[in-house]
Structure formats: structure tokens, C-alpha cells
């Protein structure tokens, strides 16, 4: 089955800096890659996703890049703010199959 | 749109009792719902896939007789933890996929249920 590796497990940045979280996946047939943000004790919320027919997608301060050849995708957050502090999960799926999640990255943005 | 609710938000029960958790899609029809379990500081672990009108598909290692899933309508799936034990204490989260979402596998998560078994 699919295996998703996520790095780093924790990431501390200063407010205003950029943050990058990387994920690799094992199944080259995977074609949907969402990123979720989860605050403590709350539900995961989709912040951005990308499909395999696109190499990059951007939404304001958030962007995701996909390298199908290398089987990795990354989340980029620019101009980080304290409210960006949370746990971020990447995931991958093939078509309508189940999502396989990475282990998560705890992002801490210090004022 | 795309709101998923879960009830209850937290529950405390005695060891040996059963607990039912409901997951509802409020503004869309969900032919497929998923049940996850999340331990503190860990990722979401898929327990089972719930399909409306058919038996749930359980992930390896998940006891289907202990975690009963029923998806009787397009907007409701229930998870019953039978004969709960302290090791079942966890955060249970459901998600739902919009049946009209085309080829996009976007899932919407419920707020989760914190189960504590004494």
C-alpha cells in the first residue's frame, strides 16, 4: 500500500519567516495530495490540495509543489504568523481510495 | 457548505460498556464516510471505510466486532465501541466525502469525539 513520509516532525520559525514541510510518497499512481491543518483538540481542516496533473498551486500565503518524478510534494507558507502554529498533515491517495496520512509536522511560529 | 458534525464531542464511560458515536454530513450526501482514530501527538489512523447501504471495510488490525459501523443513510454513519476498555480511550474523528464531488477525493472532517474509558 501507499506510504507517506513527512519531515520535519517539528519546525520552529520566527514570525514573518517562511516555513517548508516536505512529504514523499511511495505509490507512483497516487494522484491527489491534500494538506490539512489541525489545531489542538480540533478537526483537521483542508488548507490546500493538488492533483497530479499540476506542478504547483498557490493560495495567498500558502503554496504546494509536486514533483511526480521524485514522488515528493511540499507545503510552503510565507510570511508566517503566530496563528499558523498548528500540526500540519500531508496525505496522498489514488483516485477515490483512502487517504494515507503523513505523521504530521508541528509548526511553531514565535512572535 | 461541506459541514460534518459529530456527536457527542466527548464521552466518559465505564469499562465494559458500549459507546455510540454519530457522524453526520449536514449539507451534502456522503456515500462514503471514514472513521479515524488519533492518539495524542500522533497522526490519523484509518480504522474503517463506511459505505452507505453496505458493510464497512476495516483496516488490518481493527476488530470489526468491537468497532461496529453502520451507514444507514447518505448523511449518517455511526461507530459503536463495544465493551470499551481503557486502551480504547482516544480521539475518534470521522470524515465524509461528497458523493457529487466528481473525481476529487476531498474529505471533510467532523470535530471529533474524545472517548475516555475508566
Q: What is the pLDDT of residues B40-94, one digit of tens each?
A: 889 999 999 988 888 899 999 999 999 999 988 889 999 999 999 999 999 999 9
Distance between CA atoms of residues B26 and B30, nearest Å:
10
pLDDT given at position B101:
59
Q: Which of B44, B106, B110 sits opposite A89 (nearest CB)?
A: B44
Whether chain B has a CB inside 8 Å of the CB on A98: the answer is: yes
Q: Find, among B25, B39, B40, the residue nearest to B99 by Cα.
A: B25
The whole-number average pLDDT for the span A5-25 is 98
Residue B9's pLDDT is: 96
CA–CA–CA angle B85, B90, B95 (5° rounding): 125
Query: Is any Cβ of chain B less than 8 angstroms from the Cβ of A35?
Result: no
Averaged pLDDT, B85-105: 84
| Interface residue B112 vs chain A (CB under 8 A) | yes
Mean pLDDT of chain B: 91
What whole-number percentage of chain B has pLDDT above 90? 73
Amino acid at each position: 500500500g501507499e506510504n507517506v513520509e513527512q519531515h520535519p516532525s517539528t519546525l520552529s520559525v520566527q514570525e514573518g519567516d517562511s516555513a517548508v514541510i516536505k512529504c514523499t510518497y511511495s505509490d507512483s499512481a497516487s494522484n491527489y495530495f491534500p494538506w490539512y491543518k489541525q489545531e489542538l483538540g480540533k478537526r483537521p481542516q483542508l488548507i490546500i490540495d493538488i492533483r497530479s496533473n499540476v506542478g504547483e498551486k498557490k493560495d495567498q500565503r500558502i503554496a504546494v509543489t509536486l514533483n511526480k518524478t521524485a514522488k515528493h510534494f511540499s507545503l510552503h507558507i510565507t510570511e508566517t504568523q503566530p496563528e499558523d502554529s498548528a500540526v500540519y498533515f500531508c496525505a496522498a491517495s489514488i483516485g477515490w481510495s483512502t487517504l494515507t496520512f503523513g505523521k504530521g509536522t508541528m509548526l511553531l511560529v514565535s512572535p | 457548505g461541506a459541514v460534518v458534525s459529530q456527536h457527542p464531542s466527548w464521552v466518559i464511560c465505564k469499562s465494559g460498556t458500549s459507546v455510540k458515536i454519530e457522524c453526520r454530513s449536514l449539507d451534502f450526501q456522503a456515500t462514503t464516510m471514514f472513521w479515524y482514530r488519533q492518539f495524542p501527538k500522533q497522526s490519523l489512523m484509518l480504522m474503517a471505510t463506511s459505505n452507505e447501504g453496505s458493510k464497512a471495510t476495516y483496516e488490518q488490525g481493527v476488530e470489526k466486532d468491537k468497532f461496529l459501523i453502520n451507514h444507514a443513510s447518505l448523511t449518517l454513519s455511526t461507530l459503536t465501541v463495544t465493551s470499551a476498555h481503557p486502551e480504547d480511550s482516544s480521539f475518534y474523528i470521522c470524515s465524509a466525502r461528497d458523493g457529487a464531488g466528481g473525481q476529487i477525493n476531498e474529505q471533510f472532517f467532523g470535530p471529533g469525539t474524545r472517548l475516555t474509558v475508566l
